[in-house]
């Protein structure tokens, strides 16, 4: 019998502001949206401002079917923004505005109650750039069940990270997701040596991780556990838009692990979901029925 798992994404919620348009961004909403489509009761946890951008965000999330029960409204600080540009190969670059509402996330009694029944969560380093949100995120993780999945998606942005934040997050997590570029930073932080596989195994052992997820763009991904290393290719598609693909990949990993799929199937499924998202416009397209683990 399929269980309707409770899943959350906690941290930044903002508008990705492109040269000619703006659209909702931030890992918590993207991750929760895709988990919900695949088959979970999923919530973004964040804060928005009491401004036009905040009102529009809540309206659009509600319209899209995203549960906004745990998105608070901050009357002092504005809704977050990230100015997006693209390099020649289409990779997005972000300039993230400081002191947004999500920098002041507060762990309320309602959030503590949610934490106690959450089966899986995804969090990153960006939302921990402020002491207030960092404490709230780490306290939420500490209040979750011992056997829950705690996915740390490193998500290094600009200068909003440090060895101390990354190390503490790894101590709280049991799953790590990082890219080829991010591995180079962590190698310096923690003195990793050898080839890529050896560095990943050192991270897995050093922080006693249940799983390490290493993404390589069009070259697919590696999943590293204490027992095995699984390599899966990227599913070929006509690239339209890569924004949000990483969050859909993480959501697919999370949901397939909760449903007990073997490691090789987890890896293939996540690459298929992320590749589909890359073939669509926007970070949160409607997923085909083939990707729904509860129908």
Mean per-residue pLDDT, 275-288 = 67
Counted residue by residue, the chain has a size of 295
Highest-confidence segment of 44-48, 63-67, 218-222 = 44-48
Number of domains in the chain: 1
In a domain, 55, yes or no: yes
Question: How large a percentage of the chain has pLDDT more than 90?
Answer: 62
pLDDT score at 86: 81
CATH of the domain at 26: 3.40.1190.20
Residue 189 belongs to domain spanning: 5-281
Give a yes or no: residue 249 inside a domain: yes
Mean per-residue pLDDT over the chain, rounded: 89
Does pTM top 0.95 for this prediction? no
47 falls within a domain: yes
Q: Is residue 286 part of a domain?
A: no
Q: What is the pLDDT confidence band of residue 294, given thresholds at 50, 70 and 90?
A: low
What are the pLDDT digits (tens) for 197-248? Answer: 999 999 999 999 999 999 987 778 899 998 989 988 776 666 555 656 789 8
Predicted local confidence at residue 1, as pLDDT:
41
Whether 158 shows a pLDDT value over 80: the answer reads no
Are residues 38 and 251 in contact, defined by beta-carbon separation less than 8 angstroms? yes
Residue 189 lies in a domain: yes
143, exposed or middle or buried, with CB in 10 Å at 0-12, 13-18, 19+? middle
């Amino acid at each position: 019998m399929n269980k309707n798992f409770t899943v959350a994404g906690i941290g930044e919620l903002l508008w990705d502001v492109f040269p000619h348009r703006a659209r909702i961004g931030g890992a918590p909403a993207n991750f929760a949206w895709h988990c919900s489509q695949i088959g979970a009761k999923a919530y973004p946890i964040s804060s928005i401002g009491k401004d036009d951008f905040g009102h529009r965000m809540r309206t659009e999330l509600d319209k899209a079917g995203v549960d906004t029960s745990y998105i608070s409204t901050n009357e002092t600080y504005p809704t977050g923004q990230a100015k997006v540009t693209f390099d020649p190969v289409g990779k997005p670059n972000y300039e993230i505005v400081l002191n947004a509402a999500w920098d002041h996330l507060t762990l309320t009694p309602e959030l503590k109650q949610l934490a106690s029944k959450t089966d899986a969560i995804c969090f990153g380093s960006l939302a921990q750039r402020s002491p207030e949100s960092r404490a709230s995120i780490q306290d939420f993780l500490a209040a979750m069940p011992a056997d829950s999945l705690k996915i740390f998606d490193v998500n290094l942005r600009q200068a909003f990270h440090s060895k101390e934040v990354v190390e503490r997050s790894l101590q709280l997590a049991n799953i790590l997701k990082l890219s080829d570029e991010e591995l180079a930073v962590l190698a310096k932080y923690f003195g990793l040596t050898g080839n890529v596989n050896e560095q990943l195994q050192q991270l897995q052992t050093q922080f006693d991780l249940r799983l390490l997820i290493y993404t390589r763009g069009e070259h697919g991904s590696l999943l590293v556990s204490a027992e095995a290393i699984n390599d899966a290719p990227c599913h070929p598609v006509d690239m339209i838009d890569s924004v949000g693909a990483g969050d859909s990949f993480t959501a697919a990993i999370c949901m397939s692990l909760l449903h007990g799929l073997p490691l090789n199937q987890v890896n293939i499924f996540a690459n298929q979901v992320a590749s589909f998202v890359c073939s669509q416009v926007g970070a949160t397209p409607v997923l085909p029925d083939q990707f729904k683990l509860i129908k």
